């Protein structure tokens, strides 16, 4: 039941951030058979140019909301380390974005949410938002590719785009 002016049921496309902001899209992938998870994110500037890509494989399995929270926490830590202060984080994990804004902290997942909140407090110009999967496909491809990494290996691209992503830009 969609009314005019809403996006319910429609595909959403990725949109560039406002001037002087970056936009970072985060996603995760899970491989139950191999018992591992992949984290992936991409950061782009106001022109849509890719500034950086990071992917990481984590051995073991957590709940979906825990690994989505871990992805957000790690991405926030990464942008803080890089010194990027004006960033819009987008992810398609509504349960994580709602937990961050509702302050769900009384569970193991809540510990991750509290770490996200601490990082957001240290980064006052960073915005944390939910987007539909259709706006987050680039990050999803990166997260799935991270499943191919060995162990806890993190792979970061800052000045060049890996070949497997060039067709998506």
Q: Are 29 and 144 in contact (CB under 8 A)?
A: yes
- Assigned token pair, 29: 């992938």
Band (pLDDT 50/70/90 cuts) for residue 2 is very low
Domain assignments of the chain as residue spans, ordered by start = 22-159
Regarding beta strands 50-59 and 154-157, do their DSSP bridges make them parallel or antiparallel, or are they unpaired? antiparallel
Q: Is 1 exposed, middle or buried (0-12, 13-18, 19+ CB in 10 A)?
A: exposed
What pLDDT, on the 0 to 100 scale, is given for residue 10? 54
pLDDT beyond 90 at 91? yes
pLDDT higher at 11 or 112:
112
Q: How confident is residue 24, by pLDDT bands cut at 50, 70 and 90?
A: very high
Strands 87-91 and 22-31: what pairing?
Answer: parallel
Give me the percent of the chain exceeding a pLDDT of 90. Answer: 51
pLDDT tens digits for 153-162? 788 888 777 7
Can you give the pTM of this predicted structure? 0.82
Q: What is the number of other CB atoms lying within 10 angstroms of the CB of residue 15?
A: 12
CATH homologous superfamily of 22-159: Ribonuclease H-like superfamily/Ribonuclease H (3.30.420.10)
Q: What's the whole-number mean pLDDT along residues 127-147?
A: 88
Query: Rounded to an integer, what distance in angstroms lies between the CA atom of residue 67 and that of residue 147?
Result: 13
End-to-end CA distance of the chain: 33
| Whether the predicted pLDDT of 1 surpasses 60 | no
> Read out DSSP for 45-72?
-TT--EEEEEEEEEES---HHHHHHHHH
Q: Is the four-CA dihedral 138, 105, 115, 150 of positive or negative sign?
A: negative
CA distance 136 to 153: 23
Residue 103 is predicted with a pLDDT of 73
- Is the pLDDT confidence value at 132 over 60? yes
Residue 85 sits at φ, ψ, to 5 deg, of -105, -20
């Amino acid at each position: 039941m969609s009314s005019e002016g809403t996006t319910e049921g429609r595909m959403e496309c990725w949109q560039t951030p406002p001037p002087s902001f970056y936009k970072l899209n985060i996603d995760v992938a899970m491989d139950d058979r191999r018992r591992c998870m992949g984290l992936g994110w991409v950061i782009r500037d106001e022109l849509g140019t890719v500034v950086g890509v990071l992917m990481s494989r984590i051995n073991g399995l957590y709940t979906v909301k825990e690994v989505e929270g871990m992805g957000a926490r790690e991405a926030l830590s990464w942008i803080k380390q890089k010194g990027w202060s004006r960033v819009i984080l987008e992810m398609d994990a509504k349960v994580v974005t709602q937990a961050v804004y509702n302050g769900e902290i009384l569970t193991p997942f809540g510990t991750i949410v509290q770490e996200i909140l601490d990082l957001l407090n240290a980064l006052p110009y960073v915005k944390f938002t939910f987007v539909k999967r259709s706006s987050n496909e680039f990050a999803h491809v990166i997260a799935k590719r991270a499943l191919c990494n060995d162990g806890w290996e993190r792979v970061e691209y800052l000045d060049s785009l890996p070949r497997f992503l060039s067709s998506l830009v």
